[in-house]
């Protein structure tokens, strides 16, 4: 197969371009395997992120043949093409080649307090959760913070302060967690100027998500909770 990889090094002043590499694809080979082959055997200057190689860390989210994908979860044979074009996540500043700057993305996630916050005295052993309560946050808990949804969100393209789908569903995940005691505080954050009301339900995030999370439905639910809180009939 022929890889066409986006190259850009801001330090050289050279225009962004694509470099082509031939890779002998074997059965079971992923796009990440192909990039690693290039790095090890052809071009050690190619830069890209990866870590777990099993769809858990979210580091290798890229724009592959025109779609958002995790390189480690994308089998070359499933692309059904001998040409593979690999680009960095669009709409983020590029550090080098396929590596983008995610600092602003993680700052937004941090804003919604992505951790269980409690005010009551700690129990003797642990804060328990029923299966039913866990089930309510099953889908959103799968978010691996790959940033594909943020990259695909048209609101984020023009409004750099918009919290974005990943931060909002992180808020939804903790607001919905039966052990958390800061739901109202968090809800106030997402009701702010840069929060849920900036989402126009375009569904690009849903299409981009490699974990098949429906962020738009979760954000709509946050909007309902926000209205309920305003009208003072909010419950978890
Ligand atoms: Fe990635 Fe999906 Fe989480 Fe967005 S919601 S960061 S696309 S895993």
Rounded to 5 degrees, what are φ and ψ at 183?
-60, -45
Provide the pLDDT for residue 44. Answer: 98
Provide the pLDDT for residue 231. Answer: 82
Distance 148 CA to ligand 1 centre (A): 6
CB-facing half-sphere around the CA of 30: CA atoms within 13 A: 16
**Maximal C-alpha separation, the chain:** 63
Provide the pLDDT for residue 13. Answer: 83
Provide the pLDDT for residue 200. Answer: 96
User: Is ligand 1 within 6 A of the CB of residue 23?
Assistant: no
User: Is ligand 1 within 6 A of the CB of residue 148?
Assistant: yes
Distance 61 CA to ligand 1 centre (A): 10
Taking 50 as the pLDDT cut, the residues of the chain under it are none
User: Is ligand 1 within 6 A of the CB of residue 167?
Assistant: no
Provide the pLDDT for residue 235. Answer: 62
Distance 159 CA to ligand 1 centre (A): 19
Rounded to 5 degrees, what are φ and ψ at 4?
-125, 105
Ligand 1 atom showing the smallest separation from residue 205 Cα? 7
């Amino acid at each position: 197969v022929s890889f066409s990889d986006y190259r850009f090094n801001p330090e050289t002043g050279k225009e962004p371009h694509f470099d082509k590499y031939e890779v002998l694809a074997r059965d079971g080979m992923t796009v990440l395997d192909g990039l690693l082959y290039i790095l090890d055997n052809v071009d050690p200057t190619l830069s890209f992120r990866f870590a777990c190689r099993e769809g858990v860390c979210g580091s290798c989210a890229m724009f592959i043949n025109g779609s958002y994908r995790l390189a480690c979860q994308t089998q070359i044979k499933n692309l059904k093409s001998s040409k593979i074009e690999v680009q960095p996540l669009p709409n983020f500043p590029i550090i080098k080649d396929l590596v983008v700057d995610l600092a602003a993305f993680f700052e937004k996630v941090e804003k919604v307090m992505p951790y269980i916050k409690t005010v009551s005295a700690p129990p003797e052993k642990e804060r328990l959760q029923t299966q039913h309560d866990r089930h309510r946050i099953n889908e959103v808990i799968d978010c691996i913070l790959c940033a594909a949804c943020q990259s695909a969100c048209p609101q984020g393209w023009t409004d750099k302060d918009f919290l974005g789908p990943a931060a909002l569903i992180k808020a939804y995940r903790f607001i919905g967690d039966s052990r958390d005691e800061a739901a109202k505080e968090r809800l106030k954050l997402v009701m702010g100027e840069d929060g849920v009301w900036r989402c126009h339900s375009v569904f690009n995030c849903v299409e981009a998500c490699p974990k098949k999370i429906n962020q738009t439905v979760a954000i709509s639910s946050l909007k309902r909770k926000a209205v309920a809180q305003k009208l003072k009939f909010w419950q978890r």
